[in-house]
Structure 1
Amino acid sequence: MEIPKGKKIYFASDNHLGAPTYEASRPREKKFVAWLDEVKQDAAAIFLMGDLFDFWFEYKTVIPKGFTRTLGKLAEITDSGIPVYFFVGNHDLWMNGYFEDELNIPVFHKPQEFTFKMDAEHSQSTFFIGHGDGLGPDDKGYKRMKKVFTNPFFQWLFRWLHPDIGVRIAQYFSVKNKLISGDDDAKFLGEDNEWLVAYCKRKLEEKHRDYFVFGHRHLPLDIQLNESSKYINLGDWIQYYTYGVFDGESFELKEY
């Protein structure tokens, strides 16, 4: 991907809009929309790294109510020619065409590699990008649960529930997580105990990447993996309001 001179690439993750309630998350949504409005001025591309919504499930003809400000702003941005890329998280993985058809936003269900070349004066940089859930060692319970969530048969069964029932049940279990509702802090476990650090180091054995960028942990992290590779975690828009920006030379975590 060639990026024009003076432009930047932006990254954000883990908004969890709708948690703990629609009303309580409305100020956070307005703040995020204001951020989108600001970064579109010099954005070459925007990467949304999952859990934008605390729950999202696409029925054949129905999507969850709400989030009009966010969806409208994203439509405005893509209509202006700025590409937006979406990586599903563990709370909004049930996407099935709405973002692609209505917002012109590609949706990725697995980590992807991107190579950015800002202009002729800069060497290219390789990014490995994803939400981050279910990666690395351990967390076997969640990995088993994710297989159920992504199973087409179980998704088909869920679609038989009326949306008013299905969405309410899913929202109830979603906000039971204290981290998501903002009642608890994610804590840094030490580099040796961070599963995504272990995952990135293993991926480096296969191939060099300059940056590994993930969300999911709800912690802004910038960890040097070796002399030329970094692991970045974007934090969240519940407590930290952090985002990433790449200007062609370096990656920086900032607070909005």
Structure 2
Amino acid sequence: MTLAEGKKVYFSSDNHLGAPTPEASKPREKKFVSWLDEIKDDAAAIFLLGDLFDFWFEYKTVVPKGFTRTLGKLAEITDSGIPVYFFVGNHDLWMKDYFKTELNIPVFHKPQEFSFNNKSFFIGHGDGLGPKDKGYKRMKKVFTNPFFKWLFRWMHPDIGMKIGQYMSVKNKMISGDDDAKFLGEDNEWLAQYAKRKLQDKHRDYFIFGHRHLPLEIQLNETSKYINLGDWILYYTYGVFDGTTFELKKY
């Protein structure tokens, strides 16, 4: 994609709407919707890098209650012709086709590559990548197993949602609470993952979420790893203006 003059690409991650309770997260949701409303005037594209919700599970005919402001604003944006891309995180692994069908938002379950103004971007949520996260990697295999998803779908939604919401908050391997401190450049496992990917192919930017920390790490002279932070403590987001990428605070 070549950006028109004055247009920008925006990136956001880790809103965890609904946590710790729907009532408590409502001010954060309103702030996020205000941000979406502001950027729509110059956005060429918007990337949401996962964990938009603290828990999300799509039954065949049922989706979680709430988040009306966010879903309505996203529908308005895509209806206006601005593309929005969604990458599932560890809290919304169970997305299927609701976003695509209702909001015209493609949903990706693995990192993808994009190009803007001849700059290459490797984009994903970041969970399960790199040399660590072994406990979560094992748990993810269970969560993404079609048989276990089929079993969970047989629960009444009122029961299934309560269990899912409880696990999202209480289980450290899901919630990622232990990750919210800087480990040092040599120990940041997403940076290590990016460095290994550079051995196969050059990318200008590696953009991830999941870590809940706004980070910029120079991988070599021409490549950079960016972590977008979150909308719980930092309210940070990324923006590419066609030439440079910046982390900003809202």
TM-score tier by shorter-chain length is over 0.9
Contact 2:180–2:213 (Cα < 8 Å) also in 1: yes
Query: Does residue 1:92 correspond to 2:86, yes or no?
Result: no
- The equivalent position to 2:198 in structure 1, one of 187, 191, 204, is 204
Q: Give the match for residue 102 of structure 1.
A: 102
Deviation at 1:181, TM superposition (A): 8.2
Contact 1:182–1:238 (Cα < 8 Å) also in 2: no
Contact 2:136–2:173 (Cα < 8 Å) also in 1: no
5+ residue gaps, structure 2, are none
Q: Give the match for residue 114 of structure 2.
A: 114
5+ residue gaps, structure 1, are 118-123
- The equivalent position to 1:225 in structure 2, one of 219, 227, 243, is 219
Indicate how the Cα distance of structure 1 residues 182 and 193 shifts in structure 2: closer, same or farther if over 3 A, else same: closer
Deviation at 1:91, TM superposition (A): 0.2
RMSD: 1.6
Q: Give the match for residue 230 of structure 2.
A: 236
Alignment of 1:114-133 (within 5 A): 114-117=114-117, 124-133=118-127
For normalisation by structure 1, the TM-score amounts to 0.95
Alignment of 1:65-214 (within 5 A): 65-117=65-117, 124-176=118-170, 186-214=180-208
- Runs in 1 of length 4+ with deviation above 6 angstroms? 178-185
Taking the aligned partners of 1:22 and 1:155, their CA distance within structure 2 comes to: 24
Taking the aligned partners of 1:81 and 1:177, their CA distance within structure 2 comes to: 39
Taking the aligned partners of 1:198 and 1:53, their CA distance within structure 2 comes to: 27
Taking the aligned partners of 2:17 and 2:89, their CA distance within structure 1 comes to: 13
Deviation at 1:72, TM superposition (A): 0.2
Question: The residue matched to 2:25 in structure 1 has which SS?
Answer: helix
Deviation at 1:2, TM superposition (A): 2.2
Question: The residue matched to 1:226 in structure 2 has which SS?
Answer: coil
Taking the aligned partners of 1:239 and 1:154, their CA distance within structure 2 comes to: 33
Taking the aligned partners of 2:139 and 2:172, their CA distance within structure 1 comes to: 19
Q: Give the match for residue 56 of structure 1.
A: 56
One-letter amino acid of the counterpart of residue 82, structure 2: I
Indicate how the Cα distance of structure 1 residues 58 and 116 shifts in structure 2: closer, same or farther if over 3 A, else same: same
Taking the aligned partners of 1:179 and 1:161, their CA distance within structure 2 comes to: 23
Taking the aligned partners of 1:234 and 1:13, their CA distance within structure 2 comes to: 6
Identity of aligned residues (%): 83
Structure 1, 172-181 or 42-51: larger mean CA deviation: 172-181
For normalisation by structure 2, the TM-score amounts to 0.97
